[in-house]
Amino acid sequence: MDILTIALHCFQAEPFLMRRPNINGSDEFVGFIPDLLSRLSERIGVPYRVGSDHGITLVSDGKYGGKTPDGRWNGMIGELTVGVS
């Protein structure tokens, strides 16, 4: 069966998305968003993996997005417009 790959760019915000160390010493994401993805996968019957390394990527500047004085976008919208997300 094909694996659905989902790339997410998110913000850490309790209870939606939190990062915590796991028993292997690396970080894992927990909260509503990872739980929702898991339940959706079970419901539609399609396995998934989230993104590349650990899957969920945090928005680099921690902003939702707004226009800068030079007319570009920052935040999550900026990452979408330049192809990072």
Residue linked to tokens 């399609």: 46
What tokens were used for 50? 């989230």
Q: What percent of the chain has pLDDT over 70?
A: 80
What does pTM read for this prediction?
0.65
Q: Which CATH superfamily is domain 4-81 in?
A: Periplasmic binding protein-like II (3.40.190.10)
CA distances from 60 to 11, 22, 38 (A): 9, 23, 25
Amino acid at 3: I
Going from the C-alpha of 9 to that of each of 6, 55, 58, 59, the distances in angstroms are 10, 9, 5, 6
15 vs 4, which has greater pLDDT? 15
What pLDDT is attached to residue 52? 47
